[in-house]
Structure 1
Amino acid sequence: MNLKHLVLRKTINNLSKINAKPAFSNSKDLSAISAAISPSLYRISSGQSYVYLQNPKNPKPISRFTRYIHFSRENRLSYASVEAKLVSSDSEDEEDGTVNEFLSRFIWIMRGKLTEVYVDCNKVTIDGMVIVIVEKVVEEMEKGGIQQMVGSTGAMPSQEFSEDLWRTVWEVSNMVLEDMEKARKKEKMKQFLQSEDVKEMCRFAGEVGIRGDLLRELRFKWAKEKMEENDFYESLERFRHKKEEKGGNDFDKHAAAAEDTPKVASLPKRKGKFKYKIFGLDLSDPKWAEVADKIHERGEMIWPQEPKPISGKCKLVMEKILSLKKEDDPSQLLAEWIELLQPTRVDWITLLDKLEQQNPDLHIKIAELVLREESFQTSVHDYTKLIDAYAKRTCVEDAERILKKMVESGIMPDGVTATILVHMYSKVGNVDRAKEAFESLRVYGFQPDLKIYNSMIMAYVNAGEPQHAESLLRQMQTKDIKPSEEIYMALLRSYSHGGDVLGVVRITNIMQLSGFEPNTEYFSLLVEAYGRAGDPDQARSNFDSMIKLGHKPDDKCTANMIAAYEKKNLLDKGLDLLVQLEKGGFEPGIATYTVLLDWFSKLQLVDESEQLLGKIAELGEVPPLKVHVSLCDMYARSGFEKKTLQALGVLEARKDELGPHEFERIIDALISGRFVRDAQRIHAIMEMKGFAASDKLKMALMSSQAFSQKTPLQR
C-alpha cells in the first residue's frame, strides 16, 4: 500500500461513525474493494442483474441511499482540521486547504454510509472499503481539481466501479461542494454584517423608529447586497487579470505596430467644456458644486456622529451628574466633565437624553446651563424645546426668561416658538400676550392651524370676549378650516351666560350651516340665553322644540327654564311646567331645587324653602353656595337672628368663593334686617377681596349707621 493509502487510512481512523444508508453494489465494486480488504470476511452472491456485496451474518443486500443528516458544525470543523493536518501538514496554501476540507467531508459522509449497512464489520474493514473509494476520487481530482467533481449525476462511470456507486460518489461530491460554498458565504456574510456601511444604515433605521424583527431583516438584506456588490467587482477584477495575462504580449505588439501605421481617421477634437444634462437641466454650471457642498453639510446634520466613549474618571463624573438633586448646583461637575471629555454636540445631547429619562427635574436646569456652552452649538430649536418644557409646566416667568435670553443671543423666535407661546398664554388666561404671539405668526409667514385657533378662541372665551373669538371663527371659515364642536359650544356658552341673544342667534346659524346636530346642552343654552334676556316665551319655545326632537330635558335645562320664569315672576307657569314634567317621569335634581329655593326665598316663603332644603339633603349632595346666599337673604329679611347668623357663618367660611354680586346681596339683606355690624364686617371682607361696592350699597351703609342697631324680634 502506497503513501496515499496510509494517509487516507490515518484520516479514516480519526473520523467518528455517522448514520446513513448507501445503495450501491456490483461485481465491479466487489473486485475493487476485495483488493483492499480481507476476502475471508465477505462472500459473493449472484442475483438476477447484479452481484451484491453481502455480510455473512446479514445476507440482505445493501439498500439504496437515504438522505444524509449532518452533524453539528463543531464536529465538521474538527474533522476538517484533522484531515488538513494529516494530508498537508507543511502546506498553508488556500487551495490545499480547500482540498483538505473537501476530502475530510467526503470521507466523513462515505464512511458513515458504509458503517450504517455493515454494522457487524470491524473498523479496519470499513476503512479499507473507504480507502478504495477515496483513492479513485483523488485520481479524478488530480486530473482537473475539485471543480472537476462538480457536475451532473450522469457523469461517465469508472471502469472499476459500477454505475450506481459512481453516481453516489458524484452526488456526495456535489453535496460536499455545496456545503463548502454555503459555509464560505456564511463566513463572508458575517464580515459584511459587521461592516461600517451596514452599521450606519442600522443606526439610521434605529433612529427613525425601526426595531425588532424588521431591523434584523433589513440588516441581513443590506449585508447581502453589499456582499453581492463586492463579489461582482471581484469577478470583474479577476476577469481583467486574466485578460492581461492572456493578451498582454499581443497588446504590446499591436501597440508597436500602431505607431508605424499612418493614422487614417480619428475622433474629432473637443472644443469648450462638456455639458451634462439630465431631463434638460444643465449640470455643468458651477452653482451645482455649491449645491453639492450644501447637501453634504445638511447630510452631516441629519446623520449625527457617534458619541464619544465614556470611561474611567469621566464616567464617574457623569454618574454623579445623573444622581444630583433638583436643588443641587451642577456647574462644578459639568465643568469637570467638559474638561475630561471635550464634548461635541452629540455628547451633550446624549447627556441630556439620559437626564430626561433618569432625572427629569434636573434635566431642565442643566439644559438651560448648556445653552451658553459653545460646544453645544445652540440653535433656535434648543431654545424652543426649553420654552416648551416650561410652558407645559405653566411656568410663564421661566419661559419668558428663556425667550429673553434667546433674543439677546441674536436668535430670533420662529413660528414654532410663537405657537408654543400662544398655547401657554391661552392656558393661563393672558389674552394680551396670547394675542401678541398669535399676531407674530403672520410676521413669520406661519399659517395657524386648528389647534392654534382653538387655543386663541378659548382664551377670548375665558376672558369674556366672545366677539373677538367669533371673528377668529369666521377667519377659520375663510381659510377652509373646519371648527370643532368644542369651539362652537364654547362660543354659544359664552354668549348664553351673558344673555346676548343676538350673539347666540349668530352662532346657532353658523352651527346649522356647518351641519351641527343639536343636543340637550345646545337647547339648554338657548333656554338660558332667552331666560337671562327676559324672554320666557322664546325660552319655552326652544324647550318644547327640544322635547319634540326627542331630547329629554335634564335637570340643568329644566333649571334654566324655571329661572326664565323667575325673571318675570311667573310662578304659576313654573310650577305647572314641573307638574307636567313629573308626570312624564322627570325627577328634579339639585339644579332645579336650587333655582326654586332662590325664588321662594325672594318671596319670603320660609317653610317652602326649608322643605326644598330637605329635598336637597335627601339627594346626598352638598348644597351649593347659592343656596346659603338665598337662605341668608331670606332669614335676614324675615328677622330670624339665629338662622341668619348660622347661614352667615357658612358664607364667611366660604368667602373665597363669593363674588361681588353675592357680597352685594348679603350686605343689602343684612342692612334690611338691621344687622348693621354684620353688614359692616362683610363689607370689610368685600373690600379686602378687592371688590368695590356699588353707590346704592354705600348709601345704604351710611344711612344705617345713623340709626342704632335694634335686635329684631324672633318669630
Structure 2
Amino acid sequence: MSLNHLLLRRTLKNFLRINGNLLRQQSAVNINVTRTFITSPSFSLLDPHYDCYSSVPVRNFELGKSNSIFSRCIHSTVTKLSDAAMEPKLESADVEEDDGSMNEFLSRFVWIMRGKISETFPDYDKKTVDAMLLMIVEKLVSEMEKGSFEQSLKASTENRDWDLSEDLWKTVSEVSNMVLDDMKKATKKEKMKGFLLSEEVQEMCRFAGEVGIRGDMLREFRFKWAREKMEESEFYESLEQLKKEACTQEENNDSPSSVEAASEVKSEAVSLPKRRGKIKYKIYGLDLSDPKWSEVADKVHEAEEVLWPQEPKPISGKCKLVTERILSLNDNEDPSPLLAEWKDLLQPTRVDWIALLDKLNESNRFLYLKVAELLLSEESFQTDIRDYSKLVDVHAKENRLEDAERILKKMNEKGITPDILTASVLVHMYSKVGNLDRAKEAFDTLRSHGFQPDEKVYNSMIMAFVNAGQPKLGESLMREMEARDIKPSQDIYMALLRSFSQRGDISGAGRISATMQFAGFSPSLESCTLLVEAYGQAGDPDQARNNFDYMIKIGHRPDDRCTASMVAAYEKKNLLDKALNLLLQLEKDGFEPGVATYAVLVDWLGKLQLVDEAEQILGKIGAQGDALPFKVHISLCDMYSRAGIEKKALQALGVLEAKKEELGHGDFERIINGLVAGGFVQDAKRLQGVMEAQGFTASQSLQMALRTSQALRGRRLP
C-alpha cells in the first residue's frame, strides 16, 4: 500500500470520527467525478456568481513554521504515517494514538470548510459535500507533508494539472490560519487559567479583599496579576531557550573545523604588511589626527569644569578653628587678618571661597557683603564681572546707593565695563532714588550693547521721568514699548495720566486716556477724576464738568476727591453759583461732602474774605472728627492775615512754621503776601528768611511788596 493512499485513508477516518458521520464507501469513479467537479472552471470558487470569496486576504501561510503546535502535529502525523507504511497491520492502533492537536485542527478545519462549501454550493447534497471535503483534506495533508504550502499556491496558477484551483487554495489558507489562531488563543486561555489559580495570585487576591477591594475591580486586578505572571514565565522560558542556543553555538565553535578556521585567520593577520607613516583616522569626514583637535579637547575639558564644578577642600584642624573665628566676627571687626591666615592654611580656590561666603551669608549678612567686597581684589578668587554685578544688585535692592557706587568705582578702576545685567540693575537703582541723569546713562549703556530693554527696565525708566516731572519723555518710551509689542501695565498709564493732570496738560492727559481705552482698560473712577483735575488745573471748568457728567453716566459715583476737584475747577473761574448748584444736586443723590470738598470751600471763601462762612465750614470739618489738612492752615493764615485778625493769623502761622519742610515755593509766596497785605511786615520778613533757608528765592513782585510795605507802614496794622 502506498504512503499517499494510506494517508488518504487515515485522514478520512479522522474526519468521520470527529464529525460523527459514517461515510459510505466511495468508488473510484465517484472520486474522479468529484475531483473533476471541484477543479472544473465552472465550479471554481472564483465564479462570478460567487465572487464574494475572491477578495479574501491571504497571509503568509507556512504551517511548518508559523505555529509550534501545528508543527508538532505535522511531525507526529508524518512519523506515524511512515510507521503505518512499514507496518500496515497496525493501522487501526496508530489511528487510536493520533495526536490531540492534529485531531483538533482537522475538526475545526472541516467544520469551517463545510460551512463555506455549503454556502457556496447550496444545491449539493451532503454526500457530495463530504466527497469534496475529503478531496480538500487529502490535498492539504499531502502538501503539509511536502512542507511548502505557499509554493503550491503559486504553482497552481501556472500548472493546470493541479487538483485544486488557486482561489480554493486561498480559501484553504484563510481557514487554516483562522483555525491556528483559534487554537493559539485557546492554548493561551488554558495557560491563563493555570496562572489564575496559582498560589501567588490567590495570595494577592486575598490581600486585596482584606483592604476592601471587591467586585469588578478585584476581578480586573486578578486578571492583571495573572497576565503579569504569565508574561514573566514566558520571559524566563525565552531566556532558557537563548541559553540553550548559546551552549549549542559554543559546542559548534569548539569543534576541530572552527579551530582550524580561527588559526587560518590568525595566520592571515600576522602576514599583513606593516603600516608606514603617521596613523590618520577620520570620523564622518573629520581628520581627527590634526593637531587642532588637541586644542578642542582642552576647551571641552574647561567646559566640563564649568558644568561639573569641583568640590571644596575638606576643612579640618587649625583651618577649621580659623573658619569658626571668621564666622563669629562682629560687624565692626576687620576680617582681613583672619582671611589671610585662612588663605595660608588652606590655599583655597574659587570653590573654597564660595563655600566660605555661603556660610557667611547664612550667619551674618553684613559680614558676608564685607568679605565679598574684599575678595574682589583676591587673585585666587578669580573675580569676574558677575561678582561685581551681584554685589551691585544686592546693595541696590537694599537702597545702599553709596555702597553700590563704590563697587562700580572698583569696576571702572579694573577696566571692567558694566555688562547688560549690571546696566539693568543700575537703571532700577537710579530710577528708584530719583537720579534721572545716571538712570539715563545706564539706559543708554544698555542700548549701546545692542540689548533691547525688557518691560521692567522700561517701567523703571518711565517712572523716573514721571518723578522728575517729564511725563512727555515717559510717554515716548511708552510708545516705544507699544511699537515692540510690549503692553504697558495699567499702573504705567495711570502714572503718566496723573503726571499730566498735575501739570494741567490736558492734551497729554487726553492722549493717555484714549490710549488706555484702546489698550482695553475701561475708564475708572481714578482716571475720570484725573481728567477732571487736568481740566480744572488748565482753567476749563466746562470740560471738567463734561468729564464729571460722563463719569456719572458710565456708572461711577463721584467720591469726595472727585467732587473737590470739580469745585476747585469752578474756583479757578470764581463760579460759586455753579459750585453750589453742583453740591445741592449731589446732596439730593445722597452725596455727603468730605474733608477734601470742605477744604476747597474754605480756601475759596477765604479768598473772598467770607470769614464767617469759612468758619462754618471749619465747624463741619470738626464735626466729622477729622484733623484739618495742611492746605487748610495755609488758607486760614492767608484769610486771617488779610482780615487783620492777628491772633488767629499768628496761630495759623505757627502751625505752618512747625511744618515748614512741607511748604512749597507757591505756599511761601501766598503766606508772605497775605502777611504783607495785613500789615504783619516783621512776620513777613522773618518768613522770607525761612523761605530762603529752604532753598527758595522770592519773586520780584514779592520783594517789591515787602519794600513798599516797609516804606509805607513799617509796622503792623492794629
Q: 1:351 to 1:565 in 2, by over 3 A?
A: same
Equivalent residue for 2:606, pick from 594, 601, 610: 601
Please report how far the alpha carbon of residue 299 of structure 1 lies from its aligned counterpart in structure 2 after TM superposition. 2.4
Partner of 1:226: none
2:705 aligned with 1:700: yes
What is the CA-CA distance between 1:298 and the residue it aligns to? 2.0
Change in CA separation of 1:463 and 1:249 when aligned onto 2, cut-off 3 Å = farther
Which residue of 1 is the match for residue 653 of structure 2? Answer: 648
Q: CA deviation at 1:245?
A: 14
> Is residue 445 of structure 2 the alignment partner of residue 440 of structure 1?
yes
In 2, Cα distance between equivalents of 1:258 and 1:565: 113
Q: C-alpha separation between the residues in 1 aligned to 2:289 and 2:464?
A: 54
Q: d(CA) in 1 for partners of 2:419 and 2:289?
A: 34
Aligned to 1:571: 576
Question: In structure 1, how many angstroms separate the alpha carbons of the residues matched to 2:373 and 2:362?
Answer: 17
Question: What is the DSSP-based 3-state SS (H/G/I as helix, E as strand, rest coil) of the residue aligned with 1:464?
Answer: coil
- The answer for the alignment partner of 1:334 in structure 2 is 339
Partner-residue secondary structure (3-state), 1:340? helix
Structure 2 residue identity aligned to 1:703: T
Write the deviation string for residues 127-167 of structure 1: whole angstroms up to 9, x where unpaired: xxxxxxxxxxxxxxxxxxxxxxxxxxxxxxxxxxxxxxxxx
> Displacement, 1:572?
0.8
Matched residue SS, 2:712: coil
1:282-328 C-alpha deviation (Å, 9 max, x unpaired): 58595666555433312211222111122222222112211212111
Report the AA paired with residue 332 of structure 2. Answer: E
Work out the CA distance in 2 between the residues paired with 1:571 and 1:449: 50
Q: Does 2:555 match 1:550?
A: yes
RMSD: 3.3
Match of 1:303 in 2: 308
2:508 maps to 1:523:
no
Q: CA–CA distance in 2 between the matches of 1:261 and 1:314?
A: 66
What is the CA–CA distance in structure 2 between the aligned matches of 1:345 and 1:477, rounded to whole Å?
Answer: 45
Instruction: Give deviations 1:461-503, integer Å, cap 9, x for gaps.
Output: 0000011111111111111111111111111111110001111
- Residues 279 and 289 of structure 2 are in contact (CA less than 8 Å); yes or no, is this contact kept in structure 1? no
Matched, 1:399 2:404: yes
Q: How many Å separate the matches in 1 of 2:408 and 2:351? A: 24
Q: How far, CA to CA, are the matches of 2:695 and 2:581 in structure 1?
A: 43
1:675 to 671, 680, 685: 680
Q: CA-to-partner distance for each residue in 1:309-358, whole Å, 9 max, x for gaps?
A: 22222222112211212111111111111111111111111111111121
- Code of the aligned partner of 2:703: K
1:451 aligns with 2:474: no
Counterpart amino acid of residue 664 in structure 2: G
1:5 matched to which residue of 2? none
- In the alignment, is the contact (CA less than 8 A) between 1:531 and 1:565 conserved in 2? yes
Post-superposition Cα deviations, 1:185-230, rounded to whole Å, max 9, x if no partner, equal xxxxxxxxxxxxxxxxxxxxxxxxxxxxxxxxxxxxxxxxxxxxxx
**Partner of 1:315 in structure 2?**
320
**1:3-402 matched pairs, under 5 angstroms:** 247=254, 253-257=260-264, 274-277=281-284, 290-402=295-407
Residue ranges of structure 1 left out of the alignment (5+ in a row):
1-170, 173-234
CA distance 1:262–1:354, change in 2 (3 Å) = closer
Q: Which residue type is aligned with residue 657 of structure 1?
A: E
- Of 669-678 and 575-584, more deviation after overlay is shown by 575-584
What letter matches 2:605 in structure 1? F
Rounded to whole Å, the distance in 1 between the matches of 2:357 and 2:270 is 72
Distance 1:618 1:487 in 2: 39
Gap change, CA 1:547 and 1:288, over 3 Å in 2: farther
Structure 1 residues 425, 574: CA separation in 2 closer, same or farther (over 3 Å shift)?
same
Shift of 1:404: 1.8
Match of 2:627 among 591, 607, 622: 622
Closer/same/farther in 2, CA of residues 633 and 259 from structure 1, 3 Å limit? closer
Structure 2 residue identity aligned to 1:633: D
Which of 513, 517, 532 is the equivalent residue of 1:512?
Answer: 517
Deviation of 1:665 (Å): 0.3
Kept in 2: contact 1:491–1:507 (CA 8 A): yes
Task: Name the stretch that deviates more: 394-403 or 346-355.
Answer: 394-403
Displacement of 1:256: 4.4
In structure 2, do the counterparts of structure 1 residues 295 and 545 end up closer, same or farther at CA, with 3 Å as the change threshold? farther
Offset of residue 244 of structure 1: 12
The alpha-carbon distance between structure 1 residues 261 and 332, as it changes in their structure 2 partners (threshold 3 A), is closer
Question: Aligned residue for 2:615?
Answer: 610
Task: Check if 1:465 corresponds to 2:470.
Answer: yes
Q: Partner of 2:451: helix, strand, or coil?
A: coil
Question: What is the CA distance between 1:708 and its match in structure 2?
Answer: 3.8
Residue identity in the other structure for 2:343: I
8 A Cα contact 2:446 2:452, kept in partner: yes
Residue 485 (structure 2) aligned to one of 461, 476, 480: 480
Contact 1:675 1:709 in 2 (8 A): no
1:393-448 C-alpha deviation (Å, 9 max, x unpaired): 22222212211211222322110000000000000101111001001001212110
Distance in 1, matches of 2:610 and 2:255, equals: 124
Larger Rg computed on CA atoms: 2
Verify: 1:587 aligned to 2:596, yes or no. no
Asked whether the 8 Å contact 2:439–2:461 carries over to 1, the reply is yes
Q: Which amino acid aligns with 1:493?
A: R
* Contact 1:426–1:434, Cα closer than 8 Å, also in 2: yes
Return the TM-score normalized by structure 1: 0.62
- Decide whether aligned partners of structure 1 residues 502 and 260 sit closer, same or farther in structure 2, where only a CA change above 3 A counts: closer
Contact 1:641 1:712 in 2 (8 A): no
Distance 1:261 1:466 in 2: 90
Of residues 609-618 and 456-465 in structure 1, the stretch that sits farther from structure 2 once superposed is 609-618
Taking a change above 3 Å as real, the CA distance of residues 255 and 396 of structure 1, as seen in their structure-2 partners, is: same
- Please give the residue correspondences for 1:494-509 in structure 2 after superposition, counting only pairs within 5 Å: 494-509=499-514
Tell me the distance in 2 between the aligned counterparts of 1:257 and 1:646: 124
Q: CA offsets, 1:90-138, max 9 Å, x none? A: xxxxxxxxxxxxxxxxxxxxxxxxxxxxxxxxxxxxxxxxxxxxxxxxx
Distance (whole Å) between structure 1 residues aligned to residue 268 and residue 325 of structure 2: 83
Structure 1 residue 619, shift from structure 2 partner: 2.8
| Matched residue, 2:144 | none
Give how far 1:710 is off: 4.0
| Matched-pair contact (CA < 8 Å) for 1:314–1:337 | yes
Equivalent residue letter for 1:689: Q
Q: Which moved more, 1:516-525 or 1:385-394?
A: 385-394
Name the SS for the 1:324 alignment partner: coil
In structure 2, C-alpha distance between the alignment counterparts of 1:271 and 1:378, rounded to whole Å: 44
Equivalent in 495, 505, 519 of residue 490 of structure 1: 495
Q: Distance in 1 between matches of 2:523 and 2:297?
A: 59
Letter in 2 for 1:422: V
- How far did 1:386 drift? 0.6
Tell me how far apart the structure 1 counterparts of residues 580 and 400 of structure 2 sit (CA, whole Å): 51
> Which has a greater percent of helix?
2
Residue 234 of structure 2 is matched in structure 1 by none
1:549 Cα offset (Å): 0.2
CA distance in structure 2 between the aligned counterparts of 1:532 and 1:293, rounded to whole angstroms: 71
Q: Distance in 2 between matches of 1:694 and 1:479?
A: 46
- Report the secondary structure of 1:376's partner residue: coil
Tell me the amino acid that sits aligned with residue 701 of structure 1.
L
Change (3 A) 1:348 1:669: same
TM norm structure 2: 0.62
